[in-house]
Amino acid sequence: MIPVTRLNGKSFLLNAIYIEMIESFPDTTITLTNGRKFVVKESEGEVKQLILDFYKQVHLLGGQMLEGCEDGE
């Protein structure tokens, strides 16, 4: 789970495993695999880092794969 904040300031936890897409128009919009969308205060880059930290925490991906993602490869 990653902590994010709605535009009204209310914080909630979102299961990062179900995130399909993150877009900025200009607000950051997170789309889940079921089609549900959440608009959050965090930037696209912040959400990406939260997801990577979550994946590391639950050992979802190998360390080498995550390092490649962080370098932009």
pLDDT category of residue 9 using cuts at 50, 70 and 90: very high
| CATH number of the domain to which 61 belongs | 2.40.50
pLDDT of 73 > 50? The answer is: no
How far apart CA 66 and CA 23 sit, in angstroms, is 21
> Strand 11-14 and strand 2-5: pairing?
antiparallel
Determine contact, residues 42/14, Cβ cutoff 8 Å: no
Q: What residues form DSSP beta bridges with 28?
A: 24, 40
28-32: strand order across its sheet: 19-24, 28-32, 37-40
Counted domains in the chain: 1
Which residue segment(s) compose the domain that 13 sits in?
A: 2-70
pLDDT digits (tens, 9 = 90+) for 36-57: 999 999 999 999 999 999 999 9
